[in-house]
Amino acid sequence: MPFAAALRRSLEDRDSEVIDAAAFLMRLEDWGDGLPAGVTVITAGVDVQGDRIEWEIVGWGVGDESWSLSYDRVWGDPGRIETWEAVDRELIRTFDHPRFGPMPVRAVAVDSGGHHTQTVYRFARERAQRRLWAIKGRGGGGVPVWPQRPPRQRDKAFTPYIVGVDAAKEVVTTRLRIADIGPGYSHFPVGRDIDYFRMLTAERIIKTYRRGMLIREWRKDPGVRNEALDCRVYAYAALQGLIALGLRIADEASRIADLPLFAAQTSLIPAAANPPRSIPSRWLQKGE
């Protein structure tokens, strides 16, 4: 190998950021059928491939602590309505929180950058009231995870939200390296296999020097799919979309913590013991 190429490879290897996928298998958790108490809001990220649609539903808590509630896919032509109907049935699910009760998915980000752009636009337009957003990823530095202002929609042209995927990947992968439970920690359920974690850690930042300048770019490991990383990035973008609309997770977490235990979640508290609850938050109203 020529000296210049060897030096460049050495610099890349030295500055590569690697996450051990297998290590996650040692920290899987069994939180049962209901939600962990720390979940405050739920979002989802949807990735569209040529022959399938994949998605992750994520619960978020204070300090961006996260719980992967489900990861799944449906095989089929994304151009067909029945494929999207199968996805939508999962996105309208509710998850049982020990204090809040049935908690829905509050926002969804769906990638529109593939071969089914118009189908995604139509799917998002019809579900805009549920905060289901069509997004388009944009790489490079200086692109925020979520735009400061929503795109202007016109009657004849649909405009997606532009998501800074490089910035979002950096946040997500930084969180994956956190080893102590608490703010930023990423929780995963029992049953999640090594293939999922290989997809989640399929990309890394490579730092190279070109003409004397430091270049940082995301590269995927050859032969490894990255849909799980994309879905987590989109779920995180959806969370940032809620925050841009005014969501304050710490405030919502405090409101939930003040609620009595939800009767349906425990046999120790009879249903009559749950008084009617007034929740002064537009994010926590069940009917919204």
CA–CA separation, 198 vs 194, rounded Å? 6
- Is the domain spanning 13-273 CATH 3.40.50.150? The answer is no
Q: Phi, psi (5° rounding) for residue 186?
A: -105, 115
pLDDT digits (tens, 9 = 90+) for 148-204: 887 877 666 788 999 999 999 999 999 999 999 999 999 999 999 999 999 999 998
**Among candidates 137, 233, 193, which has minimal Cα distance to 24?**
193
Report the share of the chain in percent with pLDDT over 70: 84
Q: What is the DSSP letter of 184?
A: T
Q: 57 and 27 in contact (C-beta within 8 Å)? A: no
pLDDT beyond 80 at 250: yes
Give the tokens for residue 10. Answer: 């050495």
With bands split at pLDDT 50, 70 and 90, how would you rate the model's confidence at 281? low
Question: H-helix or E-strand containing 81?
Answer: helix 81-91
Spatial separation of the C-alpha atoms in residues 131 and 43, rounded to whole Å: 10
- Closest listed residue to residue 40, CA positions, set 189, 233, 247, 262: 247
Q: Measured between alpha carbons, how far is residue 206 from residues 139, 140, 154, 166 in Å?
A: 14, 13, 40, 12
What are the residue ranges spanned by the domains of the chain? Answer: 13-273
Rg of the chain, C-alpha, whole Å: 20
Tell me what pLDDT residue 8 has: 47
Residues 6+ apart with CB under 8 A from 119: 78, 79, 84
CB 230 within 8 A of CB 109: no
Higher pLDDT, residue 266 or 253: 253
